[in-house]
Structure 1
Amino acid sequence: MHWALPLIGLPWSVHGSGPNSFNCWEFVRTVQAEHFGRILPEIGNPEDMLVMGRTFRDHPERRRWAKVDPPAEGDCVLLRRSRHPIHVGIWLEVDGGGVLHCAEGAGVVFQRPDALRLNGWVVEGFYRFSP
């Protein structure tokens, strides 16, 4: 059984008031810490998606993440619905590859690239942690 299976279905929460509910960034932070040993910073104001997207884009921590293609297990996936990235998930190499993410209205889901597109998401890029 893949380590991510028990996470599927955990609820979404704007404040990411885990350990049992998350916004997208808090979910990625939790998974990166628990499964990959990577400590990521908090991003404030999760209620404003544009502010969160800008904060993620401009945060100094981004310098530690290199854009890669193709992705590998555990890489972060930056997603957008318009011009600006506003969502993040984690690449998993199961079922042909896909993104584990916590989406508003759905909670934690695993979606292959075709399902992401059907839900309006465009992959902005794949990012790998570089200590």
Structure 2
Amino acid sequence: MHWAAAMIGLPWSPHGRGPDLFNCWEFVRMVQAQHFGRGLPDIANPEDTLAMGRIFRDHPERRRWVKVDVPQEGDCVLLRRSRHPIHVGVWLALDGGGVLHCAEDSGVVFQRPDALRLNGWAIEGFYRFSP
């Protein structure tokens, strides 16, 4: 069984503070640290989704992540609704590939790209850590 199976269903929280309470960024931070040995910075999680999109776009940490066309296990996935990137998850190479993410309406889920689209998400890009 894949390590991610134990995370499915963990609850979403707007502030993501707690051992089992996550917003999308805090979830990605935890996954990157525990399963890929990468430390990501803490960032504020404003309620304003446009502000969150600007944080994802402009945060200095983004310089350490290179956009790639074909994702590999552990790459970050930036997601958008409409034209604004406001959500992040982690690519897993399971069942043909998909995104492990923590969404407001469902908590932690694993979704293939077709399921993401059905839920209103579009993949903005795949990002690989480059030390």
Measured against the shorter chain, the TM-score band is over 0.9
Calculate the aligned-residue CA RMSD, in Å. 0.8
1:4 alignment partner, SS class: helix
Alignment of 1:28 onto 2:41: no
1:39 alignment partner, SS class: coil
2:3 alignment partner, SS class: coil
Cα distance in 1 for partners of 2:25, 2:101 equals 9
Cα distance in 2 for partners of 1:55, 1:61 equals 10
Matched AA of 1:130: S
In the alignment, which residue of structure 2 is the partner of 1:130? 130
Cα distance in 2 for partners of 1:46, 1:4 equals 27
In the alignment, which residue of structure 2 is the partner of 1:110? 110
Cα distance in 2 for partners of 1:84, 1:63 equals 19
1:110 alignment partner, SS class: strand
Query: 1:118: how far off?
Result: 0.2
Over the matched positions of the two proteins, sequence identity in percent amounts to 81
In the alignment, which residue of structure 1 is the partner of 2:12? 12
Matched AA of 1:100: L
Matched AA of 2:111: Q
Residues 55-102 of structure 1, C-alpha deviation per residue, up to 9 Å, x if partnerless?
111011100000011100000000000111000000000011000000
Runs of 5+ in structure 1 lacking a partner?
none
Runs of 5+ in structure 2 lacking a partner?
none
Cα distance in 1 for partners of 2:45, 2:128 equals 25
1:9 alignment partner, SS class: coil
Query: 1:12: how far off?
Result: 0.1
CA contact (8 A) 1:23 1:103 kept: yes
Normalised to the residue count of structure 1, the TM-score between the two structures is: 0.97
Cα distance in 2 for partners of 1:66, 1:51 equals 22
Bigger drift between 105-114 and 46-55 goes to 46-55
In the alignment, which residue of structure 2 is the partner of 1:90? 90
Alignment of 1:79 onto 2:79: yes
Cα distance in 1 for partners of 2:68, 2:46 equals 26
Query: 1:18: how far off?
Result: 2.3
Cα distance in 1 for partners of 2:46, 2:9 equals 20
Alignment of 1:42 onto 2:51: no
